[in-house]
Amino acid sequence: MACKRGALIVLEGVDKAGKTTQCKKLVQALELSGRPAEMMRFPDRTTTIGQLISSYLEKKSDLEDHTVHLLFSANRWELVPLMKKKLEQGTTLVVDRYAFSGVAFTSAKPGFCLDWCKSPDVGLPKPDLVMFLQLNPSEAAQRGQFGEERYENSTFQDRVQQRFEELMKDTSVNWKVIDAAQSVEDVHTNIQNHSLNTIHKAQDMPVGELWK
């Protein structure tokens, strides 16, 4: 390798856990310390597929449940060439949601099992680290109202949380649970420590394949 590769770092968690805030702070901190880093988020609503997803989430359109699941996955796959390029160039990617959200949200719907939900994402670039921002539902509720988008209600979010817990039993993924009830700064410090450790370890390893 001409240069050390970047790390693929994912933040997951239910809504209101602080993922977006923490992704931004992490990218800023890495950049300040001279480590190239960029933020990505899924769904990426800017692509053609992303626009279909966005319209579904905003309840402007209806899509059959399997169909929308596959669109979320396709939206990740379409960005894989770019992700691989960035990682190879030495840029660390800090990603706001990934395949784990995909599985947790669809499998929270009736009639979907974890295995079916995982299958379209098998083989995606494997995150070197997945940090789960843990926040119990009552604390999340204190952070304000849910928005108007699909899935943004506490009954559904409870089911999503249970599905994330199932996914976290998989020890082939490098999960770290972060207590998101701490202050923004304390959560950040925690996340930064795990990330620096991961960036260091990942640089000499090839990027893996998820769930393979």
> By the criterion CB under 6 A, which residues form the site for ligand NYM?
15, 42-43, 57, 72, 97, 101-102, 105, 151
Comparison of 120 and 208: residue with beta carbon closer to ligand NYM: 120
Comparison of 35 and 66: residue with beta carbon closer to ligand NYM: 66
Comparison of 44 and 88: residue with beta carbon closer to ligand NYM: 44
Q: Residue 186 CB, nearest distance to ligand NYM (Å)?
A: 23
Q: Residue 45 CB, nearest distance to ligand NYM (Å)?
A: 7
Comparison of 5 and 42: residue with beta carbon closer to ligand NYM: 42
Q: Residue 3 CB, nearest distance to ligand NYM (Å)?
A: 30
Comparison of 157 and 195: residue with beta carbon closer to ligand NYM: 157
Cβ–Cβ < 8 Å for 137, 161: yes
Structural tokens at position 14: 């239910």
Say which amino acid occupies 128.
D
When CB distances to ligand NYM are compared, the closest residue is 102
Q: Residue 6 CB, nearest distance to ligand NYM (Å)?
A: 21
For 148-154, the CB contacts below 8 A with 24+ separation are 148/58, 148/59, 149/57, 149/58, 149/59, 150/56, 150/57, 150/58, 150/59, 151/15, 151/57, 151/105, 152/15
Comparison of 112 and 197: residue with beta carbon closer to ligand NYM: 112
Cα dist. 60→16, 56, 145, 164 in Å? 23, 6, 21, 27
Q: Residue 57 CB, nearest distance to ligand NYM (Å)?
A: 5
Mark out the alpha helices in 78-153 (DSSP H runs): 80-88, 99-107, 114-118, 137-142
CA 44 to chain centre: 12
Cβ–Cβ < 8 Å for 112, 65: yes
Q: Residue 110 CB, nearest distance to ligand NYM (Å)?
A: 15
